[in-house]
Amino acid sequence: MTLWKEAAHQLRRAASRTVSVDRRHISGLSGARKQLFQSNKISQAVRRDLYVRGIAQSRRQFSVTSAAAHGHITPPKPGEEINVSFIDKDGERYDFQVSEGDNLLDIAQANDLEMEGACGGSCACSTCHVIVEDAELYDRIPEPDDDENDMLDLAFGLTETSRLGCQVKMKKDLDGLVVRLPAMTRNLQASDFK
Ligand code: FES
């Protein structure tokens, strides 16, 4: 089992108990995160979040792609438009016509909707959490992989039709997709806990 898989496995087991993980697995964390992780002053949920984010950072080096670099979508060709709608946390609905291959994070950011995408679409945070309204359309989206499931575990307000927006690419049979933005997302940074 890779270091990452083992860490994720331990986190799942630790989720409902006191966090207890092998010291080997925190070697990839930055100094600040390591100190916070080892401190008893922060909650288990915070430790889990910092732990996962730290490992994800060291593994994927997600900082090379800034969030500002996202949000670019291709205008759809006439006749090839795919309809997608977002409902924001105030219940306001926004309808768009997009191209095949655009992901929900890019669509939201290109249209100035409130979707943070803190890791720049690297599947290393949960700030692009969306809730798919229609279960039938949800079933047409390719299943989330282990990395996405691990990040979804950290999302606030997780539901049975939750996905990470950056991992959902539009395609023809998702025409009419409606996603709701959750009331809040979690984006913890080590600097929040000085
Ligand atoms: Fe971080 Fe989607 S933007 S997981």
Do the domain assignments include residue 157? yes
Q: How far is the CA of 50 from the centre of ligand 1 (A)?
A: 15
The 3-state secondary structure of the chain reads CCHHHHHHHHHHHHCCCCCCCCHHHHCCCCHHHHHHHHCCCCCHHHHHHHHHHHHHHHHHCHHHCCHHHCCCCCCCCCCCCEEEEEECCCCCEEEEEECCCCEHHHHHHHCCCCCCCCCCCCCCCCCCEEEECCHHHHHHCCCCCHHHHHHHCCCCCCCCCEEEHHHCECCHHHCCEEEECCCCCCCCCHHHHC
pLDDT at 49: 53
Q: Is residue 151 lining ligand 1, measured as CB closer than 6 Å?
A: yes
Residue range 72-93: average pLDDT?
Answer: 95
Do the domain assignments include residue 171? yes
Do the domain assignments include residue 26? no
Atom number in ligand 1 closest to CA 70: 3
Q: Is residue 166 lining ligand 1, measured as CB closer than 6 Å?
A: yes
pLDDT at 42: 41
Q: How far is the CA of 164 from the centre of ligand 1 (A)?
A: 6
User: Is pLDDT above 90 for 143?
Assistant: yes
pLDDT at 156: 86
Q: How far is the CA of 91 from the centre of ligand 1 (A)?
A: 22
Residue pLDDT, tens place only, 159-169: 999 999 999 99
Computed over every residue of the chain, the mean pLDDT equals: 75
Q: What is the extent of the structural domain holding 116?
A: 82-180
Task: Please report, for the domain that includes residue 137, its CATH number.
Answer: 3.10.20.30
Do the domain assignments include residue 21? no
Q: Is residue 123 lining ligand 1, measured as CB closer than 6 Å?
A: yes
pLDDT at 188: 52
User: Is pLDDT above 70 for 4?
Assistant: no
Structural domain count of the chain = 1
Do the domain assignments include residue 25? no
Do the domain assignments include residue 123? yes
